[in-house]
Amino acid sequence: LNNNPAQYEITLSGTLRSPQINFHPPFLMLMPVPLDVESEAVVTIIPQEFIRQSRIRVKIPELELADGTRTCPFSVQFPEGQDIVLSSDGTANELTCHISFRSSKPISVLGDILFIDQEEN
């Protein structure tokens, strides 16, 4: 520097942290219920390795019944909000999620409910 032709080498190192979310319980099985009766469960979402605030979105499967009609028997609610907020020590808050199922027609479902952050992870 200062017109000195010497070369300087700077070495940088770091660790890439990929955000992820874990669930408690890790899978969900809702109990069979009579038609038009709601079955519900509570799931805790545990964010890890987030470096900034993010908002969780949910993709719920739409199902086609035997008669060709389409239905979405699931609903997902976040009673305390769906924002992942970092505390001063770098940890993220856990989120409570209520997942419910209700159908007016007989149906059995095995499928995925996708939880996605703002970065599409």
Measuring CA to CA, how many Å separate 22 from each of 43, 47, 70, 103?
10, 6, 30, 28
CA angle 24/80/77 to nearest 5° reads 70
pLDDT (tens digit, 9 = 90+) per residue, 59-91? 998 888 888 889 899 999 999 999 999 888 878
pLDDT (tens digit, 9 = 90+) per residue, 13-69? 887 778 889 999 998 888 889 999 999 999 999 998 888 889 999 999 888 888 888
Distance in angstroms (rounded) separating the CA atoms of residues 16 and 1: 31
Residue-range domain boundaries for the chain: 31-116
pLDDT at 1 over 70: no
Give the global pTM. 0.77
Distance in angstroms (rounded) separating the CA atoms of residues 11 and 48: 28
